[in-house]
Amino acid sequence: AQSVSQHNHHVILSEAASLELGCNYSYGGTVNLFWYVQYPGQHLQLLLKYFSGDPLVKGIKGFEAEFIKSKFSFNLRKPSVQWSDTAEYFCAVNTPINAGNNRKLIWGLGTSLAVNP
């Protein structure tokens, strides 16, 4: 079965530390890849997405992610985190089974990031 694995469930960092959150998926064909973020008390929102082209994608708030097809990975990175980055981060993968209606959007279980000031 297709799956998305986020390696770290809880991450604690100090401000200015670098961040890398792992995401691996199991589907072998063409995919769309997403990172969503949920700040405390707020709705889930899109952080960045990869559809095609340059495998290094830039998102909001200084985040970036690199799609490495050979490793089935889409890791999220930020060079220097801030206290305001404290949130839950979800990786999601969409496969073509659903023909455009997101039916098979597969979610990771999320990574809770706490940044200490």
Partner 1 sequence: DVKVTQSSRYLVKRTGEKVFLECVQDMDHENMFWYRQDPGLGLRLIYFSYDVKMKEKGDIPEGYSVSREKKERFSLILESASTNQTSMYLCASSFLQGVLGPPLHFGNGTRLTVT
The residue within the footprint of partner 1, chosen from 61, 69, 71, 103 (CB under 8 A), is: 103
- φ, ψ dihedrals at 61, nearest 5°: 60, 30
Distance between CA atoms of residues 32 and 103, nearest Å: 13
CB 17 within 8 A of CB 83: no
The residue within the footprint of partner 1, chosen from 1, 40, 42, 117 (CB under 8 A), is: 42
The residue within the footprint of partner 1, chosen from 18, 26, 30, 80 (CB under 8 A), is: 30
Rounding to the nearest 10 degrees, give the CA dihedral for residues 55, 1, 98, 45. -50
59 binds partner 1 (CB under 8 A): no
Q: Which of these, 49, 43, 35, lies nearest to 89 by C-alpha position?
A: 35
Q: Which stretch binds partner 1 (CB under 8 A): 17-25, 43-51, 54-62, 63-71?
A: 43-51
Q: Which of these, 111, 82, 113, lies nearest to 22 by C-alpha position?
A: 111
26 binds partner 1 (CB under 8 A): no
The residue within the footprint of partner 1, chosen from 12, 46, 56, 68 (CB under 8 A), is: 46
Residues that bind partner 1 (CB under 8 A): 9, 30-32, 34, 36, 42-46, 49, 51, 90, 94-96, 98-103, 105, 107-110
